Amino acid sequence: MAIEKNNLKKITDYLWEIPKSFRSDMRVPVRIYATEHMLEEILRDRSSEQAINVTTLPGVQEAVLVMPDAHEGYGFPIGGVAAMLLPDGVISPGGIGYDINCGVRLMKSQKTFEELRPHIPSLARALYEAVPSGVGRGGKLKLNTQELDEVLQKGVKWALEHNYAEENDLEHTESRGTLENADPGAVSAHAKNRGRDQLGTMGAGNHFVEVGRVEKIFDGEAAKTFGLYLGQITIMVHCGSRGLGHQVATDYIRLMLNKLSNYKIILPDRELACAPYSSPEGKSYLAAMAAAANFAWANRQVIMAEIRKAWSKVLGGDGGKLELLYDVAHNIAKIERYQIGGTEKELVIHRKGATRAFPGQPVLIPGSMGTASYVLVGTEEALTQSFGSSCHGAGRRMSRHEALRRVQGDKLKEELQGEGIHIESGSIRGLAEEAPEAYKDIDEVVEVVSRAGIAKKVARLRPVAVVKG
Amino acid sequence: MFEILPHRADLRIKVWGAGLEEVFQSALAGMNEVLKPGFCQAERQFSKEVKLELEASDPTVLLVDFLSQVLTASQEQKVIYCKADFENLTSQAVAVKLQGMAVEGFDRDVKAVTYHEAEVKKNEKGEFETVIVFDI
């Protein structure tokens, strides 16, 4: 059944609702955060239909949310948030995504753009050499099963024990970089084999290390609390759980698909494969997901350690410290408590291409190359409106195929360098696929969540160097 | 036979064939073309081998699970499996011997083979066909 704009109810200029009367199997409505113009774009692919499918899942509460950077995914749309009631509501790997704990961390330096300017090319080169990137590329660390199990169990704590982290880093990572319910035993041998040489690596696609400068401050007080100031140099890392996480998702989608009839679950889409949270499959997936999430946090921590070394190598003692502002996951499930119908309830929150936005918490929103990234702050309003969630990035609006047709990687690199953005990339094709025009307008995306009140703008960052696989 | 189709964020292929085996062979060829374009078209001596056996509720799930397992083997071993000898293939079960060659790396980071849009069915020519979407 095609969804048209006139099927939606406008709640505000930035929030729209598909009522649950739209389709007979919907248990709750869908709420979409978007301007009218952005809504028209969202309705052009299957994101809204996928969100409607999610509303059919057992235990879903209140509404399924769609963020302004949404686009079609697998099962759940990317940019989707759904909350299921414990203990019998379902957990669905498609609501987290194949790249478990794909996320972002932002480091802040003690240097300004003007101070760094002469060193940018050599810093970019040093970062490219320090952080292994590219398709399937392994890194320096090759872990045996016991070592890998420790990473899966401990996450950033493992990194601390092995001198890749400082205590302060844990304080500034979501969940302190460790989900305590992780069980390495719930992760298959195949997943471990895919990931054992990938700790400390970026991967390819839209993953990157980006050196940026604080171009604008929107909220002086919040910026001061975060330690951000105009002209300051920052470094952002975007990557996830690599092949290990991808395999965990594949394994459990298959397992749950085979067990649906045990729980009398009928799905409109196989990629919504799920199981009750309280079931053996549900518990096992959550434990495996937590292990993969820990791997991703350890991954970003090891990458940050390499970045710190490269920074010192290029700038020497004069470079000062690189401190972690924060690290957020944008593909994850968390157990959290919210008011539902006046009573506090325990829910499993699925965030797929969506970021936690708790009050006072930094919310990191990477844009495309050549545009901007944002630091926002979470709000009390997010707890009421959006299960403590916000958007995660710019969201793709153009296929890779189309991007390759329209954009020449070499020319793009020249153009970006002409704009003062130094590029180090292992793949000219990969660069073209990630062209700024392939993505939605990040300023518009962030404006929507800000106007909706679920996260507030603190600072905008402009890239000065991008390192990609 | 296969054809690469556009997709907003990832990659899709359409595969078709007179019978199930041809569809499976086409899907394998299509996935390998995504992983490393041109690799399986060249004459090669295959030095790596793996056997897979799996069951599924229907041919669509079977095909996606088959491709997933080949992808996993490829990623773990850093091998492209170009040749498939099907010892048994029904709508719910497959037993296959795969042969391939080691590679230094892949051109595409295929995270997963998804069930999205997959539906093995007969087209108007009486051939089996489906779309397969890869998360990359």
* Average pLDDT for A346-360: 98
Q: For residue A208, what are the β-bridge partners?
A: A238, A468
Q: Do B114 and A193 touch (CB under 8 A)?
A: no
Q: Is A193 helix (H, G, I), strand (E, B) or coil?
A: helix
How close, in Å, is residue A378 to chain B by CA atoms?
A: 28
Q: Do B9 and A72 touch (CB under 8 A)?
A: yes
Q: Do A74 and B115 touch (CB under 8 A)?
A: yes
pLDDT interval class at A252 (50, 70, 90): very high
Among left, alpha and beta (phi > 0; psi -120 to 50; other), residue A342 is left
How close, in Å, is residue A86 to chain B by CA atoms?
A: 27
Name the residue among B6, B57, B109 with its Cβ closest to that of A399.
B6
> Nearest residue of A to residue B111 by CA position?
A246
Q: Is A201 helix (H, G, I), strand (E, B) or coil?
A: coil
Q: Which residues contact A216 (CB under 8 A, 6 or more apart)?
A: A230, A459, A460
pLDDT in tens, A258-291: 999 999 999 999 999 999 999 999 999 999 999 9
CB of A455 within 8 Å of any CB in chain B?
no
Name the residue among A135, A257, A399 with its Cβ closest to that of B105.
A135
Q: Do B75 and A257 touch (CB under 8 A)?
A: no
Counting other chains too, the contacts that A9-14 makes at CB distance below 8 Å and 24 or more residues apart are A12/A452, A13/A451, A14/A448, A14/A451, A14/A452
Residue from A44, A251, A401, A429 to probe the interface with B (highest B Cβ count within 10 Å): A401
Round to whole Å and give the CA distance between A418 and A423.
11
Q: Give A176's DSSP letter.
A: G
Identify the residue with better confidence: A370 or A376.
A376
How close, in Å, is residue A373 to chain B by CA atoms?
A: 20
Q: How far apart are the first and last CA of chain B?
A: 22
Q: Are B110 and B95 in contact (CB under 8 A)?
A: no
Q: Are A98 and A189 in contact (CB under 8 A)?
A: no
Q: Which residues of B touch A135 (CB under 8 A)?
A: 105-109
How close, in Å, is residue A98 to chain B by CA atoms?
A: 7
> Nearest residue of B to residue A134 by CA position?
B109
Percent of chain A topping pLDDT 90: 85
* Average pLDDT for B3-16: 82
Q: Specify the pLDDT at position B8.
A: 63
A299 residue type, one letter = N
Q: For residue B129, what are the β-bridge partners?
A: B16, B121
* Average pLDDT for A200-213: 92
Q: Do A74 and B116 touch (CB under 8 A)?
A: yes
Q: Is the pLDDT of residue A247 over 70?
A: yes
Q: Do B112 and A249 touch (CB under 8 A)?
A: yes
CA separation (Å) from B122 to A269, A270, B29, B67?
20, 20, 20, 20
CB of B88 within 8 Å of any CB in chain A?
no
CB of B6 within 8 Å of any CB in chain A?
yes
Q: Specify the pLDDT at position A134.
A: 78
Q: Which residues of B touch A75 (CB under 8 A)?
A: 116
Q: Do B7 and A270 touch (CB under 8 A)?
A: no
Which sign does the torsion angle of CA A401, B118, A103, A219 carry? positive
How close, in Å, is residue B23 to chain A by CA atoms?
A: 20
Q: Which residues of A touch B61 (CB under 8 A)?
A: 257, 270
* B17 burial via Cβ count (<10 Å: 0-12, 13-18, 19+): middle
Q: Give B117's DSSP letter.
A: T
Identify the residue with better confidence: B108 or B124.
B124
Q: Are A55 and A68 in contact (CB under 8 A)?
A: no
Identify the residue with better confidence: B104 or A358.
A358
pLDDT interval class at A426 (50, 70, 90): confident
DSSP state letters, A303-367: HHHHHHHHHHHHHGGGG---EEEEEEESEEEEEEEEEETTEEEEEEEEEES-EE--BT-EEEE--
Q: Are A120 and A127 in contact (CB under 8 A)?
A: no
How close, in Å, is residue A299 to chain B by CA atoms?
A: 17
Residue from A76, A188, A399, A427 to probe the interface with B (highest B Cβ count within 10 Å): A399
Q: B79: part of which helix (H) or strand (E)?
A: strand B79-89
Q: Specify the pLDDT at position A432.
A: 80
Neighbours of A464 (CB within 10 A): 21
Residues of A labelled catalytic:
392
Q: Which of A416, A420, A427 is nearest to A469 (CA)?
A: A427
pTM of the model: 0.96
pLDDT in tens, B96-107: 999 999 999 898
- Residue ranges of alpha helices (H) inside A208-334 are 220-226, 242-258, 280-315
Average pLDDT, chain A: 95
A117 residue type, one letter = R
Instruction: Please give the interface size between A and B, counted as residue pairs whose CB atoms are below 8 Å apart.
Output: 82
CA separation (Å) from B29 to B4, B16, B70?
11, 12, 11
Identify the residue with better confidence: B26 or A206.
B26
CA separation (Å) from A397 to A13, A15, A18, A347, A433?
22, 20, 22, 32, 12
Q: Is B45 helix (H, G, I), strand (E, B) or coil?
A: coil
Q: Do A136 and B61 touch (CB under 8 A)?
A: no
Q: Specify the pLDDT at position B9.
A: 63
Q: Is the pLDDT of residue A206 over 90?
A: no
Q: Which of A286, A266, A269 is nearest to A277 (CA)?
A: A286
Interface predicted TM-score (ipTM): 0.94
> Nearest residue of B to residue A246 by CA position?
B111
Residue from A96, A102, A135, A239 to probe the interface with B (highest B Cβ count within 10 Å): A135
Structure token digits, residue A329? 């996951």
Q: Specify the pLDDT at position A391.
A: 98
> Nearest residue of B to residue A271 by CA position?
B115
DSSP state letters, A45-109: SSHHHHHHHHTTSTTB-S-EEEEEEEE--SSSPEEEEEEEETTTSEE-GGGT-SSTT-EEEEEEE
Q: Specify the pLDDT at position A138.
A: 79
How close, in Å, is residue B122 to chain A by CA atoms?
A: 20
* A339 burial via Cβ count (<10 Å: 0-12, 13-18, 19+): exposed
pLDDT in tens, A39-89: 999 999 999 999 999 999 999 999 999 999 999 999 999 999 999 999 999
Q: Which residues of A touch B10 (CB under 8 A)?
A: 400
pLDDT interval class at A188 (50, 70, 90): very high
Q: Which residues of A touch B109 (CB under 8 A)?
A: 135-136, 203-205
DSSP state letters, A132-157: --STT---S----HHHHHHHHHHTHH
Q: Are A286 and A256 in contact (CB under 8 A)?
A: no
DSSP state letters, A94-127: GGT-SSTT-EEEEEEEEEEHHHHGGGHHHHHHHH
CA separation (Å) from A16 to A37, A226, B43?
12, 32, 57
pLDDT interval class at A440 (50, 70, 90): confident
pLDDT in tens, A134-155: 777 778 898 999 999 999 999 9
CB of A253 within 8 Å of any CB in chain B?
yes
> Nearest residue of A to residue B113 by CA position?
A250
Q: At what angle do helices A280-315 and A145-154 cross, to 10 degrees?
A: 100
